[in-house]
């Protein structure tokens, strides 16, 4: 088990390195000149070269990546100029490890920007996650147990329709109509626990969490249903029944346990993806999370923030993959890690 974990973590780190190199290569090849962006339109060639040197953009692709990787491990200074450090230390921004870069547009380190926005995205992700897992799995199991009845058909039909509406449409209906036009709820505005207490925090998350959860819930109802139905046809369920176990034990201990394993996998990965910000939902409700940060970063061509976010989100997904595989072994007795 421990050997497996170590091997997976090692593979994950390698994956992250490769992935950050690919990201750098993609953005490095971009025809947009970063230095001229930072120093503005009326910038002389000399000024531009100076800016590029200060930010490290004149360096080769490999060196820039090495600087980035070093920053993640040990932190770095912006601009990294020994001369300047002696003459004007106050102009230098130090970025502690893990340093993901420095955003000129925001005038802050990417790590700080992420620290500010992460709680919003995480709150949104966790509240939507609870909604969709509880709702999706319960309804899915209900549909499977009532297979063929009107309840089953209704649930499957509803989830099909819910699945068809794009997230931004659901969000806009909730925001522009339910909250603003019809005034059924307060106009959603993100409130942290520190500002509004747990109650204020939860109620500020209601509409965006529903928006985010609808799509996933629809998918999970259908998925859970088909896994549970499939699981009831397995031999071990027949064995359990012929042993004379009560139907309740057969359902919950044998059929559902096996059926839920793939759902744990999916849920873990979906949650990891959302933790890095639900770009569309945050845009609709104008919530200051990582998704919104990403939107602003790409509209401002704020490359350091974008690269930092991409690498961080990939790290989330890679870590989630490892955790999910370990959970798999705990839930499903058939799985042996080797």
Binding residues for another protein, per CB under 8 A? 15, 18-19, 22-23, 26-27, 30-32, 160-161, 163-169, 172-173, 176-177, 180-181, 226, 229-230, 233, 273, 276, 279-280, 283, 294-295, 297-299, 301, 306, 309-310, 313-314, 317-318, 321
Whole-angstrom Cα distance, residue 191 to residue 208?
Answer: 13
Torsion sign (Cα): 100, 14, 332, 140: positive
Nearer to another protein, 221 or 317 (CB): 317
Nearer to another protein, 70 or 296 (CB): 296
How far is Cα 93 from Cα 77, in angstroms, rounded to an integer? 6
CA distances to 176, 197, 303 from 182, rounded to whole Å, are 9, 26, 40
Q: Round the CA-based radius of gyration of the chain to a whole number and report it.
A: 25
Cβ 29 to another protein shortest distance, Å: 8
Least separation, in Å, of the C-beta of 161 and another protein?
6
Nearer to another protein, 36 or 203 (CB): 36
Could you tell me the CA-to-CA distances from 333 to 13, 131, 137, 240, 254 in Å, in that order? 28, 28, 21, 15, 11
CB 1 to another protein: min, Å: 22
Q: Measure the CA–CA gap between 71 and 51, rounded to whole angstroms.
A: 19
Minimum distance, C-beta of residue 159 to another protein, in the bound complex (Å): 11
- Smallest gap from Cβ 179 to another protein, in A, equals 12
Nearer to another protein, 19 or 264 (CB): 19
User: Residue written as tokens 């790409």?
Assistant: 298
- CB closer to another protein out of 219 and 240: 219
Q: Which is nearer to another protein, 127 or 305 (CB)?
A: 305
CB of 6 to another protein, least distance (A): 18
* Closer CB to another protein, 86 or 182, in the complex: 182
Backbone angles phi, psi at 149, to 5 degrees: -85, 175
Taking the C-alpha atoms of residue 126 and residue 144, their distance in angstroms, rounded to an integer, is: 26
For residue 147, give Cα distances in angstroms to 182, 225, 226.
38, 9, 10
- Minimum Å gap between C-beta 220 and another protein is 16
Query: Within a 10 A sphere around the Cβ of 171, how many other Cβ atoms?
Result: 25
């Amino acid at each position: 088990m421990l050997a497996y974990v170590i091997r997976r973590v090692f593979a994950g780190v390698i994956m992250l390195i490769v992935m950050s190199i690919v990201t750098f290569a993609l953005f490095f090849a971009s025809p947009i000149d970063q230095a001229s962006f930072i120093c503005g339109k009326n910038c002389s060639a000399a000024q531009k070269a100076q800016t590029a040197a200060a930010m490290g953009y004149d360096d080769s692709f490999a060196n820039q990546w090495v600087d980035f990787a070093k920053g993640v491990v040990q932190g770095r200074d912006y601009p990294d100029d020994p001369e300047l450090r002696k003459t004007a230390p106050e102009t230098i921004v130090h970025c502690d490890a893990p340093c993901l870069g420095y955003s000129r547009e925001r005038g802050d380190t990417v790590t700080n920007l992420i620290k500010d926005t992460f709680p919003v995205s995480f709150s949104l992700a966790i509240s939507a996650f609870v909604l969709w897992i509880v709702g999706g799995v319960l309804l899915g199991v209900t549909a499977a147990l009532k297979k063929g009845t009107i309840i089953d058909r209704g649930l499957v039909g509803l989830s099909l329709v819910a699945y068809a509406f794009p997230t931004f449409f659901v969000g806009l209906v909730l925001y522009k109509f339910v909250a603003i036009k019809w005034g059924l709820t307060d106009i959603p505005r993100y409130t942290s626990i520190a500002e509004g207490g747990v109650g204020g925090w939860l109620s500020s998350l209601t509409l965006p969490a529903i928006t985010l959860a609808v799509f996933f819930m629809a998918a999970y109802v259908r998925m859970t249903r088909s896994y549970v139905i499939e699981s009831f046809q397995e031999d071990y369920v027949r064995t359990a029944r012929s042993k004379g176990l009560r139907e309740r034990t057969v359902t919950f201990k044998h059929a559902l346990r096996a059926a839920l394993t793939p759902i744990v996998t999916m849920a873990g990965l979906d949650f990891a993806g959302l933790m890095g910000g639900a770009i569309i939902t945050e845009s609709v409700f104008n919530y200051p999370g990582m998704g919104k940060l990403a939107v602003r970063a790409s509209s401002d061509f704020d490359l350091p923030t974008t690269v930092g976010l991409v690498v961080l989100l990939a790290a989330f997904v890679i870590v989630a993959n490892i955790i999910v595989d370990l959970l798999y072994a705990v839930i499903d007795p058939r799985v042996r890690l080797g």
